[in-house]
């Protein structure tokens, strides 16, 4: 099967509107696959190239959970956390956007060939701001990192040292007003200094798979329902409940949703400890959900 090649110029249909948040949006995007993957919703999952087994496991968990929630995973395809997150998302049947520090037709590193090849099909894509055939240089990666940050509504750092491309990408995401998640690591591990510092500066703390699932539910308005095979969107249900506790029928009217879908989602969230039923029949977020919602965002 041949890969679908595309070029999208700024102002043309299909150009990601979120890139307009950059001071100097790229004029041309070149890539392979399905460019609609960039329309999201997207979460960036990034981390160290020389990752520890802990960092790899975190990245794989994040890629899988995001895919199971129906969120597009964006990353750079580098060794370590980036490729681990993308592979996990692909294995879970999710869509991905690979943003290399080279031309879209140049696979770098070669160890990520499987990630690049698979991303060219199945509703995913490889996209670059570099010209065709461009090999990576020390200057292309910082530019690439800005694209990863801009494409994503939220950015999760699986593992990062003190000074790295990962932390620079997180800094760019913060400047763009994106929400930052970070997983804490040992205070004695050099590979966790950057992630721990992000947390001390206000990034949302992800301490478990359940933490990530709840954060995604709050920030993207989706619920992960593995037994059904596909996530069910609730179009702002949690945001509405954070504003004011409501009964299921009032929620359905406010959100324009089927009442049965609202009841199903509320029942699922109640089992997960995300919401609770009040004595008068209204539903409200639990204390833990409120605390996560109020976490300072990057």
Higher-confidence position of 12 and 279: 12
Q: What is the mean pLDDT of residues 7-30?
A: 97
For residue 83, how far is the Cα from the chain centroid? Answer: 14
Q: Which CATH number does 214-293 carry?
A: 1.10.10.10
CB 176 within 8 A of CB 150: yes
pLDDT in tens, 225-254: 554 444 455 557 888 887 788 998 888 888
pLDDT in tens, 137-151: 999 999 999 999 999
pLDDT for residue 46 is more than 60: yes
Cα(186)–Cα(201) distance, integer angstroms: 17
Cα(170)–Cα(164) distance, integer angstroms: 10
pLDDT in tens, 156-170: 999 998 888 899 999
CATH class of 5-202: alpha beta
Q: What is the mean pLDDT of residues 60-88?
A: 96
Residue 133, burial from CB neighbour count under 10 angstroms (0-12, 13-18, 19+)? exposed
Q: Where are the domains of the chain?
A: 5-202, 214-293
Q: What is the mean pLDDT of residues 249-264?
A: 84
- Scan for tokens 């080279």, then name that residue: 102
């Amino acid at each position: 099967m041949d890969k679908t090649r595309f070029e999208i110029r700024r102002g043309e249909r299909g150009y990601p509107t979120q890139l307009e948040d950059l001071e100097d949006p790229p004029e041309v995007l070149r890539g392979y696959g399905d460019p609609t993957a960039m329309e999201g919703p997207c979460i960036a999952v990034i981390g160290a190239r020389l990752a520890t087994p802990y960092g790899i496991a975190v990245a794989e968990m994040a890629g899988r959970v995001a895919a199971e929630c129906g969120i597009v995973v964006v990353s750079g395809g580098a060794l370590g956390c980036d490729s681990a997150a993308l592979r996990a998302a692909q294995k879970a049947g999710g869509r991905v956007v690979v943003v290399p520090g080279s031309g879209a037709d140049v696979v770098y590193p070669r160890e990520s060939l499987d990630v690049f090849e698979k991303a060219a099909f199945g509703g995913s894509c490889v996209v670059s701001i570099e010209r065709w055939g461009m090999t990576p240089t020390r200057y292309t990666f910082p530019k690439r990192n800005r694209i990863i940050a801009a494409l994503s509504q939220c950015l999760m750092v699986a593992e990062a040292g003190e000074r790295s491309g990962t932390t620079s990408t997180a800094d760019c995401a913060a400047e763009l007003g994106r929400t930052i998640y970070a997983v804490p690591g040992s205070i004695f591990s050099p590979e966790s200094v950057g992630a721990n510092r992000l947390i001390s500066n206000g990034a949302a703390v992800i301490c478990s798979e359940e933490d990530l699932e709840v954060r995604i539910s709050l920030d993207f308005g989706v619920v992960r329902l593995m037994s059904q095979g596909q996530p069910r969107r609730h179009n702002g249900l949690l945001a509405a409940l954070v504003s004011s506790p409501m009964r299921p029928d009032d929620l359905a009217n406010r959100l324009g949703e089927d009442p049965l879908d609202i009841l199903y989602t509320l029942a699922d969230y109640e089992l997960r400890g995300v919401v609770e039923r009040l004595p008068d029949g209204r539903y409200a977020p639990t204390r833990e959900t409120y605390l996560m919602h109020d976490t300072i965002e990057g």
